[in-house]
Amino acid sequence: MPPGEAHAGGGDAVEDVLQLLRTGGSRITTSRRLLVRTLVERGEHATAEELASQVQSEAPDIHLSTIYRNLEELERRGVVSHAHLGHGPATYHLSATAHGHLVCEGCGAMHEAPDELFEDFAALVAGRYGFVVDSHHFAVIGRCARCTAAERGAPEVG
Amino acid sequence: MPPGEAHAGGGDAVEDVLQLLRTGGSRITTSRRLLVRTLVERGEHATAEELASQVQSEAPDIHLSTIYRNLEELERRGVVSHAHLGHGPATYHLSATAHGHLVCEGCGAMHEAPDELFEDFAALVAGRYGFVVDSHHFAVIGRCARCTAAERGAPEVG
DNA sequence: TTTCCTGCAAATAATTTGCAGAACT
DNA sequence: AGTTCTGCAAATTATTTGCAGGAAA
């Protein structure tokens, strides 16, 4: 595969999603094609606004509200998920590339967490409450190693 | 202790917090007194607006922005924490009564989770990434037992 | 009396919605 | 042609901020 189109599958992934939309009775529009392509290229958490920016770099007229509507549609089809990572806006990504997140409340750094990290916890919660954890849908908040270390030296309030 | 003032400590807890503010150089105002009292009485997650409503039932002039500012202040002192439970507004509670949450993405039901539930998970994350999990600060999203069961019978999309 | 706090109004930020026209099938 | 999508503007929701007056220490 040529460099620059790294992400497994490349354009095929885009076509797969578009086909899914088509099959479901949705229409394939420029905004949807570009949005799906953007999502595949990023493969990573991005806010609606970031996605819009990138889409708009190719088609400036596509409105942010259209991005929101399309994301909603894609989410309804199960192609996309969104997560609320602490404060700021929600982030979106393809369900296929979904994973958990560790977000540092000190510096805001975000770390990706493999599903496997949540396995035991999910099993525990399921066993005890019958609650099925969706580890992709929320961020685990806490303090990263660096911030934890930094705090040992300097106290917080002045 | 008289019934109706259940929550461990009762009015003392309010005074403790106020004393902490005083000591820190903050002033004790009506809005702060009422807010702290409300937080102690609820002991549970409440949105800024819910807190404002209850405070306003005793002092109608207290503005929502004052509630926000006071919550911010209390949070700075470590008395209060807030968490982002999925969509909607943030919820606030005394740090002392803090605990984790399981929020069902199907029906929105919220279940409180004891700290102990997160112990192993936190240890795993700490060991592997040096990341210190703050289990009170985020909601574990997933599907409650009821919604999971309901879905086995009825498929999602129409 | 000095500084902090508050009410109010207005600004922001994130997202949603109504509507008439444009685009897909 | 018929329905679904889209752009735009405006409404919503959650929260923050500037300012001038009011209150705590």
What average pLDDT does the structure give for chain A?
A: 85
The set of residues, in sequence order, having a beta carbon less than 8 Å from that of A151 and lying 6+ positions away, is A106, A143
pLDDT of residue A98: 66
d(CA A24, CA A17): 11
Handedness of CA A31, A33, A38, A39 (dihedral sign): positive
Q: What is the mean pLDDT of residues B90-101?
A: 82
Asked whether the predicted pLDDT for residue A155 surpasses 80, the reply is no
List, for residues A87-122, the tens digit of each pLDDT value: 889 999 888 766 788 988 777 778 888 888 999 999
**B96-108 average pLDDT score:** 78
Amino acid letter, residue B38: T
pLDDT in tens, A46-65: 999 999 999 999 999 999 99
Whole-number distance in Å between B87 CA and C16 C1': 14
pLDDT over threshold 50, residue A157: no
Q: Determine the nucleotide nearest to B90 by Cα–C1' distance.
A: D14
Higher pLDDT among residues A92 and B137, named by residue: A92
For residue A131, the model assigns a pLDDT of 94
| In the predicted structure, residue B99 carries a pLDDT above the cut 50 | yes
Give the highest mean pLDDT range of A102-116, B36-50, B103-117. B36-50
**Residues near chain C (nucleic strand), Cβ < 7 A?**
A 22, 27-30, 47-49, 64-65, 68-69, 72, 88-90; B 25-27, 29-32, 59, 61-63, 65-66, 69-70, 73
Strand partners, A101: A112, A139
**Confidence at A123, pLDDT banded by 50, 70, 90:** very high
Average confidence (pLDDT) over B74-93:
88
Closest nucleotide to residue B28 (Cα to C1')? D24
Instruction: Check whether B97 has a pLDDT greater than 80.
Output: no
User: Is A124 within 8 Å of B114 (Cβ atoms)?
Assistant: no
Query: For the segment B4-18, what is each residue's pLDDT rounded down to a tens digit?
Result: 344 444 568 899 899
Would you tell me how many other CB atoms lie within 10 Å of the CB of residue B8? 12
Answer yes or no: is pLDDT of A7 > 60.
Answer: no
pLDDT (mean) for A63-72? 97
For position B32, what pLDDT does the model report? 97
Q: Do B137 and A141 touch, CB atoms closer than 8 A?
A: yes
Phi-psi region at A26: left, alpha or beta (left = phi > 0; alpha = psi -120 to 50): beta
> What's the mean per-residue pLDDT of chain B?
85
pLDDT the model gives residue B154: 55
Option in A102, A121, A138 nearest B120 (CB): A121
Whole-number pLDDT of residue B100? 84
Residues of B (93-132) whose Cβ lies below 8 Å from A: 102, 104-105, 111, 113, 117-118, 120-121, 124-125, 128-132
